[in-house]
Amino acid sequence: MRLLVTGGAGFIGSNFVQLTVRERPDVQVTVLDALTYAGDRASLAPVADAITFVEGDVTDAPLVDRLVGAADVVVHFAAESHNDNSLHDPWPFVRTNVIGTYTLLEAVRKHGVRYHHISTDEVYGDLELDDPERFTASTPYNPSSPYSSTKASSDLLVRAWARSFGIQATISNCSNNYGPYQHVEKFIPRQVTNVIDGVRPKLYGQGLNVRDWIHVEDHNTAVWAIIDRGRAGETYLIGADGEMNNRDVVELILELSGLPTDAYDLVADRPGHDMRYAIDSSMLRTELGWEPRYRSFRDGLAATVAWYRDNEAWWRPRKEATEAKYAQLGR
């Protein structure tokens, strides 16, 4: 199989490429990545000799056409991915997430290539803390932020291209990922590296917002299950029953780091901050037989904390600029 992976130098994409090289020796991987502030070739260093890397933009139609034409399957991870950035400057989100997806879909349509679209549970909006419901594939779209609205837009383009043009496409909407190679702007790596630096973790608002955590490797084994066995035109929700509020996550990071569990600060809240996400992944489990490998969030988080302690050379170059941005926002 000739596999084109967009965004393969980012957090989830680089973990996906590493997993693929480790576990799928029959697959030839080409990565297309623009190496934005969020992309890093060092995240692919362990597999650099086993893949082809192309530095380029998913909105570059001639380049995308050439690469898609040489592939059997495309997995589209590339995106602007951080909600806080989208509140400051939405345009790169519209450009990459909407126009980039459109560009890929047109190439996929022309060349008749199988396409898997990586999306987020944030397209469904948020839930109240006491709501017994979880998101399913039939939950209405109701995105809150510029980021999630551009992801929702891209999902709708995929659905339209599948229905109107018959492209062989699947979509997955996953909950919050954690694990190695995640940018220090994101919640867990930001707090873990703050603690390493002797800085108190920072919780938005009261820290009561709930996210449904899944280890990045579990997200990626689910993506492979969908590529292998998913039905064209279908949407699969990916989650591992990992609901936890932000305060509990920070307290666990502090405990795992041998610090008092109240050594954090409450800071200004994110505008429009989604309260709670929760995924019902029963369709993925029953239809495709997928199960997560990581059964304990505590163990997965401990391994992630250890990874950031052991790989300071990977994250240190981005830490100062990231914190300077947050300081401007008072967060």
Q: State the DSSP string of 272-306.
A: T---B--B--HHHHHHH----S---HHHHHHHHHH
The reply to whether 155 sits near ligand DAU by the rule CB under 6 A is no
Candidates 14-22, 97-105, 203-211, 298-306 — which segment interacts with ligand DAU by CB under 6 A?
A: 203-211
Beta-carbon count within 10 A of 270 CB:
16
Contact in structure between 186 and 270 (CB atoms under 8 Å): no
Please report the beta strands in the chain, taking only residues with DSSP state E, as ranges in sequence order.
2-6, 28-33, 52-55, 73-76, 114-120, 169-174, 177-178, 202-204, 210-212, 214-215, 235-238, 243-245, 265-267
Positions marked catalytic: 121-122, 147
Q: How far is the CB of 83 from ligand DAU (least distance, A)?
A: 4
Q: How far, in Å, CA of 13 to CA of 31, rounded?
A: 9
Residue nearest to ligand DAU (CB): 120
Nearer to ligand DAU, 30 or 246 (CB): 246
Q: How far is the CB of 62 from ligand DAU (least distance, A)?
A: 28
The reply to whether 315 sits near ligand DAU by the rule CB under 6 A is no
- Between the two ends of the chain, the Cα-to-Cα distance in Å is 45
The reply to whether 121 sits near ligand DAU by the rule CB under 6 A is yes
Identify the DSSP state of 186: S
Q: How far, in Å, CA of 61 to CA of 64, rounded?
A: 5
Identify which of 61, 58, 66, 62 has the alpha carbon closest to the alpha carbon of residue 95.
58
Three-state DSSP class for 30?
strand
Residue 190 interacting partner from ligand NAD, ligand DAU, none (CB closer than 5 to 8 Å by kind): ligand DAU
Candidates 21-29, 201-209, 282-290, 315-323 — which segment interacts with ligand DAU by CB under 6 A?
A: 201-209
HSE-up (13 A, CA, CB side) for residue 19: 20
Whose structure tokens read 């999630």? 148
Q: How far is the CB of 165 from ligand DAU (least distance, A)?
A: 26
Q: How far is the CB of 50 from ligand DAU (least distance, A)?
A: 27
Residue 277 interacting partner from ligand NAD, ligand DAU, none (CB closer than 5 to 8 Å by kind): ligand DAU
Nearer to ligand DAU, 79 or 113 (CB): 79
Nearer to ligand DAU, 83 or 154 (CB): 83
Q: How far is the CB of 145 from ligand NAD (least distance, A)?
A: 12
The reply to whether 246 sits near ligand DAU by the rule CB under 6 A is yes
The reply to whether 183 sits near ligand DAU by the rule CB under 6 A is no
Please give the residue ranges that form the binding site for ligand NAD (CB under 6 A).
Answer: 6-7, 9-13, 33-36, 38-39, 57-59, 77-81, 96, 100, 118, 120, 151, 174, 176-177, 183
Alpha-carbon separation of residue 281 from 2, 134, 214, 222, 299 (angstroms): 29, 9, 12, 10, 22
216, 217, 220, 221 alpha-carbon torsion, rounded to 10°: -150
Whose structure tokens read 């594939």? 137
The reply to whether 176 sits near ligand DAU by the rule CB under 6 A is yes
Q: How far is the CB of 297 from ligand NAD (least distance, A)?
A: 14
Residues near ligand DAU, by CB under 6 A: 81-83, 120-122, 175-176, 186-187, 190, 202-204, 209, 211, 246, 270, 277
